[in-house]
Structure 1
Amino acid sequence: MNNINTFSGSLSCEIVTLPIDSKEILYDTSYYGQPKDDILELTLIEAAYLIYKGKITVNSENKKLDFEGFMCEASRRTGNFEVKYIVFKDLRERGYFIKPGVTDFRVYPRGGSPGRTPSRYFVYVLSERQPMLLTDLVRQIITASNVKKELIMAVVDEESEITFYGARLRSMKGDMDNSRSVPAIRASLLEDRVMVWDSKSSAQLHNEFLYGKALDEIRLQLSLIEAAYLLGREVVEIMDSKGRILTPNDFADQAVMVESDFPKKLAVYKDLREKGMVVKTGYKFGSHYRVYKKVDPKKGMLHSEFLVHALDNNYIFNLSQLSRAVRLANSVKKQMIFAWESGETISYLEISRIKM
C-alpha cells in the first residue's frame, strides 16, 4: 500500500488480487471486487477503473503496470475488453453499482447496492461493428427474464458514445374481430397484386375488414400477403391472368417469385391478424408492417402502435441498421417489433432506446 487510499495488487490470469485490508474501502463502501479468504479479487475491468481513479496499482511479473500498460495487457487476455470498460466506467460515473454477470454486468437500481437490494438489469455490451445473432440476443433475454431482470443492450460506437436499448420478448394482441366469414369473392392475380372487381365485395373487404386499398370507387387492390391470407381462409377465389383458379400453393409459388420474403411475411401477417390486429404495409417506415391494435372503420386508420419486421430465425443483426430502425420507430411514437417463426408459433421481440 503506497498511501492510505492506494492499494497494490497482482495480476493473475483474468483477476487482480489485493490484500484483505483493501476490503473496507473498496468493497464495503464502494462494492468493488469480491472478498475471498484473505484477499479481495477484482475483475480486469474493475481493476482498470480503479487504476484510472488512482485507487490501486497493479504489478505483473514484478513489473508495475500503468493505465496504458494494464489496458493493453487486459485487452490481450479478454475479448471485447475496451468496450466493456467504456460501459462500466459510464455506468459507474452515473452512480450505478455494477457487478459481473452472466451477460456482461449486473446493474443495481439507483439507491440500491449489492447485499441490500436485488440487481435490476443485466447489461449486454456490444461494439457497433459486431454482428449480433438473433439467437444470442434471445438467449440473453431469457437468461435475464428467468431471474426477473431486465436486459439492456449497451452498444458502443466508434467514438465511444453509448446507446442503451431495452430488449424483451412480448406477446401481441389486438381488439379487432377478424373471425367473421364472408361469401367467396372473385379476384385476379395480375403481377404483384390482386384485384377484386366487384364493388360490393370490394367495399365489404375494405370498409368492414380493412383489407386492401381502393383502386377506384368500384375496385379494390389487395397486396400479395393480404390475398394469400384471404385465400387460405377461403374468403377469395383467385384466378391468374389466363383465368386459371389458383390453389394456396399455386399462389404462394407465384408470390415467392415476386417477393422472396413472402413465406416469413405471410406467417407473421397471419399470426397478427388472428390475434385481432390490423396489419398494413410499413414500407414508408422501412419495415414490413405497421400494426394497429384496433381501428374504427368510421374514423379510419389514425395511428399505428407498432412497426413489425419479419425475420428468419437465424437472422444476424447489423447494429447500424438496428439503430436506424429503432430510432425511426421511436421518433414516430411506435414500438419496434421483430418477429420470426419459432416452431409452430411466432415470437416477438421489442427493442427500444432507453435512458440510463
Structure 2
Amino acid sequence: MKATFDGTAIRLGKEGHALYEQSGYGRPDPQGLRLSSQEALYLLHRQKIAFDDFTFDTLFAEFADQRNFLRSFLVYRDLRERGYVVQTGPHDFRVFRRGEKPGTGESLYLVRVLSERDPIRFEKLIEEVVASRNMRKQYVLAVVDDEDELTYYEIKLQKLAGAAAPVPPLSHHEAILVGKSAMVRVPAHSDLEQAGYGKRLDAERLMLSPVELLYLMGEDVLTLRRGGETISPADFLTLAQEGDREVVEKHKVYTELRGHAFTPRTGYKFGHHFRVYCGKNVHSDMLVHAVEKEAVLPMSVISRSVRMAHSVKKKMLFGAVHTTGIQFVEFARIKL
C-alpha cells in the first residue's frame, strides 16, 4: 500500500481505510487516510505500507528532528505490539481496550511519554490526572530510560478513607522543649504511645518529634514549655523551621493523615517523610512524602521512590500541599 509524504502530512489513498477499519490506524479524511509520524514509521517497519522516496532508515531520520520523537515512537511500537490500538492525543496517546478501536470501542488509558530525566511538575501532573479522570480514563506515564527500555506508571489521585477503629481522645500533657524536640513524662503504655506518638527515652520519659509537637499543640492537648515559659505553636514552628525547611509541608500532610485516623511515623529509613499505618497492621501500609504543589522532582527520583515502596509492599504517595488542602498523588508501576 503506497503512502505519500509532502513534508507536512502522511497520507494513504482511500484503500488505506481498511487499515483504519481493521486495526484503528490513522484518521480518515476526504483524501483517504492521514497517518501520524509514529503510525507511518511503524507500518513501514511492519511492511504494511511503502514509500517511493523513503526507506525505514531515511524516514526515521526525517522524523528524528521532531521533539521527543524517538521515545514517542518506542512507546507507540511497544503498545501496538502488546495488542493495543493507539491514537495520538489528548496527552501523547490514547490507548483502547484490547479488541476495541475507534468507532467501536472506548479508549482506556491516556498516556504521557517521558524520559527518565524529565521533571515531574506536580501542579501540571494533577491537572492532567483530573482531566483524565473527568473523561473516565486511566492516566499513565510511559517512561523511557537511557537504554530505551520502558516502564509504565499509573497515577491516581487518592481520596483517603478513615480508619475503621475510632481514635480515643487524648488527655492533656505538658512537655519540655529539648532542642527541636520535646520530652513528656508519662508512664509506659500511656495514651500518647497507644495513639502512635513519640519514642520512649526511658521508663518515665517519651520523646516527641517536631511534627508530632506541632500537631498535638494544634489539637490543644499539649503545652510546650522552656524554662517555665510557655511556647506558642507559632513560635515553635519558627524554631522548627531553622533546622527543617520542609517542616511546614510535613506538618500539613501529617495533620491531614491524622485527620483520617492514620498513624504517621518517620519514614527516614525508606527515604521519605512518613511511613503510615492505616489500621491494626503490624507493618505500615504507605510511604508518604510531602511536597509543595508547585514542586518539581526528576522522574528518576520518583522511580527510586516507587521501587523502594513496592519492594517493601507499600503504596507510594506524594502529598502535594496547596491552599485548598492536600492532594495525595499515588505512583504505581503497572504492566499493560
TM range (shorter): over 0.9
Is 2:238 aligned against 1:273?
no
1:326 corresponds to which residue?
306
Q: Deviations over 1:186-230 (max 9, x none)?
A: 111111321102437x722112x2211111111101111001110
Kindly state the Cα deviation for residue 112 of structure 1 after the two structures are TM-superposed. 2.0
Q: How many residue pairs were aligned? A: 335
Q: Distance in 2 between matches of 1:11 and 1:335?
A: 49
Give the conservation status (yes or no) of the 8 Å contact 2:91–2:111: yes
Q: Is residue 238 of structure 2 the alignment partner of residue 238 of structure 1?
A: no
In the aligned structure 1, how far is the partner of 2:218 from the partner of 2:268?
Answer: 24
1:189 aligns with 2:207: no
Q: Residues 152-209 of structure 1, C-alpha deviation per residue, up to 9 Å, x if partnerless? A: 11000011100000001111123253472423x1111111321102437x722112x2
Point out where structure 2 has 5 or more consecutive residues left out of the alignment.
Answer: none
Aligned-partner residue type, residue 217 of structure 1:
A
2:10 is aligned to 16
Root mean square deviation of aligned Cα: 1.6
Correspondence list, 1:70-219, <5 A = 70-76=59-65, 78-175=66-163, 176-178=165-167, 180-183=169-172, 185-199=173-187, 203-207=190-194, 209-219=195-205
- C-alpha separation in 1, matches of 2:138 and 2:184: 47
Deviations 1:308-331 (A, max 9, x none): 100011111211111110011011
* CA distance in structure 2 between the partners assigned to 1:249 and 1:342 by the alignment: 20
1:303 aligns with 2:283: yes
Return the TM-score normalized by structure 1. 0.90
Q: C-alpha separation between the residues in 2 aligned to 1:302 and 1:199?
A: 23
Contact kept, 8 Å, 2:3 with 2:10, in 1: the verdict is no
Which amino acid in structure 1 is aligned with residue 14 of structure 2? I
- CA–CA distance in 1 between the matches of 2:319 and 2:168? 22
Identity over aligned pairs, percent: 36
Which whole-Å CA distance do the structure 2 matches of 1:22 and 1:274 have between them?
A: 58
Distance 1:279 1:173 in 2: 15
Assess if the C-alpha contact under 8 Å between 1:9 and 1:56 holds in 2: no
Contact 1:195–1:219 under 8 Å retained in 2 = yes
1:227 aligns with one of 213, 217, 220: 213
Preserved contact between residue 11 and residue 58 of structure 1 (Cα < 8 Å): no
Asked whether the 8 Å contact 1:164–1:354 carries over to 2, the reply is yes
In the alignment, what sits opposite 1:7?
A: 2
Deviation of 1:146 after TM superposition, in Å, equals 1.0
How far 1:12 moved relative to its partner?
3.6
Is contact 1:212-1:221 (8 Å) kept?
yes
Counterpart amino acid of residue 35 in structure 1: P
Q: Which letter maps to 1:47?
A: A
Distance in 1 (alpha carbons) for counterparts of 2:51 and 2:225? 77
**Residues 154-163 or 50-59, more deviating:** 50-59
| SS of match in other structure, 2:97 | coil
Q: Secondary structure at the match of 2:64?
A: helix
TM-score, scaled to structure 2: 0.95
* CA distance 1:264–1:250, shift in 2 (3 Å): same
Q: For residues 225-275 of structure 1, what are the alpha-carbon distances to aligned partners after superposition, in whole Å with 9 as ceiling and x for unaligned?
A: 0011101111111113x3321000111011011211100000000011011
